[in-house]
Amino acid sequence: MGEELALDVGTWSGDPTSFAYQWQRCDVDALNCLDVGGATGETYGVRTADVGYRLRAQVTARNAQGAGTATSNLSAVVAPAVQPNSRPTISFVSVRFLGNRVYARFRVCDDGGRNLTILATDSRPGLVSLTRRFSTRAAPDPCGVYTRSWVPALRFRGKGRYTITLRARDTGGSTSAPARRTFVR
């Protein structure tokens, strides 16, 4: 964080007359990459919002015959300037629903260097909650952004208040403070 990344546009055939750039943030496992708003230059200043993500750039070359796009290699996971404490931390980046499926994107930081267990709890007033457990596929180093999806149990679907609570647990048993999002559907 606080560093600047610079592109080398490489070698192109067809004598390009112009280049356009777009920097992207990707999850740790690079399954989801999204454009960084306004990041369209040959250089990119790494910022706090990038912590836990991997960065890459797309370069589009144009000439009279058309355009072609190439994507750079991914950066290492962006680390915070200060190391996190020994207890994991977790926070939501976004949550969205597609049909009955929930897609949660979240940032986890931990200084243990190992995969973590994520506890995802679905709850609704007056109903017994349900907790799912899954592990990160790549250990946060020290932070990572992950995306997971699931279909809530039938009792949590339909109209009303629905809460998702995430916690991260390290191999030593330390558990993060909860991160919660509540929705009224």
104: left (phi over 0), alpha (psi -120 to 50) or beta: beta
End-to-end CA distance of the chain: 38
Strand ordering across the sheet containing 130-135:
130-135, 117-123, 161-169, 179-184
Among residues of the chain, what percentage have pLDDT more than 70? 96
Distance CA 76, CA 29 (A): 11
pLDDT value of position 82: 58
What count of residues does the chain have? 185
Per-residue pLDDT of the chain (185 residues; tens, 9 = 90+): 568 898 888 888 888 999 999 999 999 888 899 999 999 999 999 988 898 899 999 999 999 999 999 999 999 999 876 554 578 999 999 999 998 899 999 999 988 888 999 999 999 999 999 999 999 988 888 889 999 999 999 888 888 899 999 999 998 889 999 999 998 87
pLDDT value of position 81: 67
pLDDT value of position 61: 93
Q: Tell me which amino acid residue 158 is.
A: G
pLDDT tens for 115-156 read 999 999 999 999 999 999 999 988 888 889 999 999 999 888
Distance CA 119, CA 131 (A): 6
pLDDT value of position 46: 92
Location of structure tokens 């993500």:
53
Phi, psi of 154 (to 5 degrees): -50, -35
pLDDT value of position 146: 93
pLDDT value of position 3: 85
Q: Would the CA dihedral through 181, 185, 162, 95 be positive or negative?
A: negative
